[in-house]
Amino acid sequence: MNRPSWDRYFMEITLVVATRSTCLRRQVGALLVRDKRILSSGYNGAPRGLGHCHDLGCLRKEMGIPSGQRQELCRGLHAEQNAIVHAAYHGINIAGSTLYVTHRPCITCAKMIINAGIIKVIFAGEYPDQLSVDLLAQAGIDLQPFSNL
């Protein structure tokens, strides 16, 4: 029997989480794990109780704004943000955890990752934001690409 590694196991779950995304541009999933236990998950989409992007449209897409720019115009939260917020909402301590995410975090998510006490980020796909890489490195957070899908 060929069992997947823990990283592969958690990354595959993260890919399933991403299928819940309602974003028209990119489906992103995130999973917070500590001691081989899932603490929280999140995907990108509108705040709780509000209309979804796939129903209402995407202002950034309509305005022709490239991916990674003018994020303040987006009605959605990123997957990493949702995973962190869900943990806080339910009183789950995520300090010392690992974040599995389908795409490398943006600068805003990097700041949240640092302040949440997450110590490692494993990502499957790239995201056009070099500032996040630099910031995570300055904070001593282990950023690892996962290329074994």
Domain ranges for the chain: 6-145
Superfamily of domain 6-145: Cytidine Deaminase, domain 2 (3.40.140.10)
Q: What is the pLDDT of residues 2-23, one digit of tens each?
A: 899 999 999 999 999 999 999 8
Q: How confident is the model at residue 149 (pLDDT cuts 50, 70, 90)?
A: low
Note if 126 is an active site residue.
Answer: no
114 token code pair: 């640092």
Q: How many CA atoms lie within 13 A of 22 on its CB side?
A: 17
Confidence at residue 75, expressed as pLDDT on a 0 to 100 scale = 74
Annotated active-site residue in 12, 62, 72, 80: 80
DSSP state of 136: H
* Measured distance CA(146)–CA(143) in Å, rounded: 10
d(CA 88, CA 6): 25
The answer to whether the predicted template modeling score (pTM) of the entire model surpasses 0.75 is yes
Residue tagged 């490398």 (tokens): 104
